[in-house]
Structures are given as C-alpha cells and as structure tokens.
Amino acid sequence: MLPDGFIMRIHACIKFFLGFILLLSANLSYAGNMLFADHPLAGKIWDMNSRSYIDEATLFSRISAANVLLLGETHDNPQHHDNQQKLLKARIGSGMRPALVMEQMDAESQSALDQALAGSDRDNVLKSVTGLIKFNDWQFYSPLLAIAIDNKLPVIAANIPRQRLQPAIWRGYAAYDAGELKRLAVEEVWSERRQNYLAAHMGGAHCGQIRDELRTGLARSQRLRDALMADSAVSSIGRGVVAIVGRDHARRDIGLPLYFAARAPSARIFSVGFVEVSPEAADPEAYEAESATGDAPYDVIWFTPRAGRTNPCANPGNPKEVRP
C-alpha cells in the first residue's frame, strides 16, 4: 500500500498539471486586443493539398462534401469563432442539419443540455445552454449555439471529465478495459513516431518544465481524450458533424480525424485549422512544419491575427517542484 503522503503528492501533481492544461487550452489570460492584423497572411486561406490560396466561397464549396467537419480553434481568439460561424452557416445553407460537437461542454452534462434544448423559450434556451460551457470565454460560443438553436441542431457535449483521464497519465492504458480501448481504436491508429512527437509537444505546451514520464502520460491522456471525443460523435456522422475543438484536436496527424477514420472508414473528413500568424513567418509553407508524420495536419489553414494574451510560460510556477 502506498503511503498517504505519497498519494497526496500524486493528487497535488495531477491537480496542478490538469489545471495548467486548462490554462493553456482555454487561454484564460486573454487581454482583449488583436495583434498583427496587417500581417500579409492574416485573413488568407491556404489549401494544404493544392498548396495554393483559396477564397471563402471555394472553401464553402469544399466542405459541402464532408460529413465530418473539424474546426480547430485557439479558444480565446474571437476571429476564430467568427470564422466558425461562417462555416456552420455554410453547412446549414447547403441543406445539412449537422450535430454541433462542443469540446467546451463536459460530456457528463449531456442530459442537462438535452433538457435545455427541449425548452420553448429561445432566449432561455440559449442562456441555459451557454451556462453549460466550462470555459471562461463562454461568450465567444453563444453565437454558435444560437445558430444551432435557431436551426434545431443537436448539440453534443464532448469534453471528457478529467477523472476519466487521470489513470492514463500515471498508470497507462492497463487501467482501462482492453476491449473498450480496442473499440475506441486507441492503439490501432497510433505509431511510435506519433507518440514521440506528441510527448515532445506536450512538454513544449508545459513550458518545457515537466519530466519525461509525465510528458508520456499526458500524451496518453490526450490520445484517450481524442478517441472518446470522436466516440461521442461517431453515431452522428450520418447526419453530419461539425466539431468545435482546440486546434490540436482537429489535426489529421494526431487528433480526432484518426479516430473518426478508424471508426467510420467511409467518413468524409475535412479539417480546418485556424492559425494565428507569426511576425517571423510570412510564407504559408513556414507553418507546415507542425506535423508528426510529414503529412498535412489540416486540409486548409485559415490564417488570423493573434489574440493579445499574456504568456502562460512567463510565470507558471515551478512545475519541477511538484512531484508525485
């Protein structure tokens, strides 16, 4: 049996790092201003397959053939949310009534979400549904949810509760039912190359201040999270899916597309990455290095100005001192 003090340190470490993940993914330090709006790439759409720019009308046409549309955002960037609204409206305008999949709502709130959506007063429905968003920047998602409500779209709460993911960090996949992992295609879609990339990526996301075993554990957690988020929506592919997720989750090389493709091989998947411009890079090809396999991480990149925010790595505490 483990000593009580050791267990308490494990719990403290888990709490710290999962909280820090939330800080990085939800960008709670949003400062409200947009940077580099005059960047030569801002507003442009780069087709990563044809390696050429396309306009919005062409993008709207391209997504019309997809029944799984992933819209990968930086959570605190208002331009990303404006663009998501355009794409959701385009899907509806083409005759589809897709399920709106929201990473920003906990899966365990689905029954409350369904109950709220069944209401008859539109304003009260929107207020109740928006109240289920777990991110501080909840107001960014209200217009998307209003579109869903006005068009009677189903909404799927897809965020996975942290307690379901914690065993993957410290105990690995042996903590889960092997049959369930196989059903979710957790291992089937993966490779050593992807694992090495994702572990390094998680280390960078935590300011390079975490140990190798924790990087590996967080990568396992991320993989399971993506598999479970895809699982929440795979039964809706027939009617169409539009997923509002963080940018990493939308990536073809490490994210939800892998699991959708494994679970529904005939699915027509299209991934849009909303990418903030960098003042050091004016060539769209400079942004293509972000790949675990050398393949394009998205079908298209839609470049936007950068949201002004404080750097979470400027003063994240000292993760190296938090040890299980």
Tell me: pLDDT of 19 over 70: no
Query: Which three-class secondary structure string do you get for the chain?
Result: CCCHHHHHHHHHHHHHHHHHHHHHHHCCCEEEEEECCCCCCCCCEEECCCCEEECHHHHHHHHCCCCEEEEEECCCCHHHHHHHHHHHHHHHHCCCCCEEEEEEEEHHHHHHHHHHHCCCCHHHHHHHHHCCECCCCHHHHHHHHHHHHHCCCCEEEEECCHHHHHHHHHCCHHHCCHHHHHHHCCCCCCCHHHHHHHHHHHHHHCCCCCCHHHHHHHHHHHHHHHHHHHHHHHHHCCCCEEEEEEHHHHCCCCCHHHHHHHHCCCCCEEEEEEEECECCECCHHHHCCCCCCCCCCCCEEEEECEEEECCCCCCCCCHHHCCC
User: What is the CATH number for 135?
Assistant: 3.40.50.11550
Question: What is the pLDDT, as a whole number, of residue 8?
Answer: 46
Q: Which tens digit of pLDDT belongs to each residue from 185-210? A: 999 999 999 999 999 999 988 888 88
Lowest mean pLDDT among 1-15, 39-53, 150-164, 177-191: 1-15
Domain hosting 170: range is 4-321
Span 31-55, mean pLDDT? 93
Name the percent of the chain lying above pLDDT 70. 87
Which has the higher per-residue pLDDT, 290 or 161? 161
Question: What is the pLDDT, as a whole number, of residue 129?
Answer: 97
Question: What is the pLDDT, as a whole number, of residue 187?
Answer: 97
Q: Which tens digit of pLDDT belongs to each residue from 96-143? A: 999 999 999 999 999 999 999 999 999 999 999 999 998 888 899 999
Question: What is the pLDDT, as a whole number, of residue 33?
Answer: 86
Tell me: pLDDT of 7 over 70: no
Tell me: pLDDT of 307 over 90: yes
Give the count of domains, the chain: 1
Q: Categorize the per-residue pLDDT at 31 as very low, low, confident or very high, splitting at 50, 70 and 90.
A: very low
Which has the higher per-residue pLDDT, 10 or 150? 150
Question: What is the pLDDT, as a whole number, of residue 316?
Answer: 53
Q: Categorize the per-residue pLDDT at 27 as very low, low, confident or very high, splitting at 50, 70 and 90.
A: very low
Question: What is the pLDDT, as a whole number, of residue 3?
Answer: 52
Span 231-255, mean pLDDT? 98
